[in-house]
Structure 1
């Protein structure tokens, strides 16, 4: 079993990367650079999947009887994962909204 902190920091790293890429995707969409925005959303999804795998591994270990020590770092890691999940969905929505805005501007 990995060091209890390694899994938490792995979660923080991957979830943080995902969140950052989602935010960058929103910035690209704001500039109507939808190709780059979509690329970043796809990369964010890959990072989020890696973070989610870390969480799933912990859950499966717990189901096998491997107790997980709950500590502040793990709680912080879970917060990062939740935030990254929400941010990815928001980035997708912002991209759609900026596409609509661009269409409206082009019609004017």
Structure 2
């Protein structure tokens, strides 16, 4: 079961990183007033967050079923990465909304 843990942890880290990158792209497009592209990147960011969350849910479900996982630095790092990505995307979404309102 350790392989399941590492596989899902890496999925969390990779997808959270992708979400942050897509969020930054979205913000850059919004700053230029290109809101269609900004929203496309936000959608991609949210898709990546969903994939990261799904990997996290697999780990939580396995643990709830009695599987014991080792809590190590990479596990903690994955959770930190995911929470930061979620917060970042929430903030980018609000900034884009403000930029859109100012443009109207």
Same fold (TM > 0.5)? yes
4+ residue stretches of structure 1 with deviation over 3 A? none
* RMSD over equivalenced CA pairs, Å: 1.1
* 1:86 maps onto 2:69 in alignment: no
Superposition pairs of residues 34-49 of structure 1, within 5 angstroms? 34-49=35-50
Distance 1:100 1:63 in 2: 44
Structure index of larger Rg:
1
Unaligned runs of 5+ in 2: none
TM-score (norm 1): 0.90
Distance 1:2 1:48 in 2: 23
Distance 1:49 1:94 in 2: 21
Unaligned runs of 5+ in 1: 104-108
TM-score (norm 2): 0.93
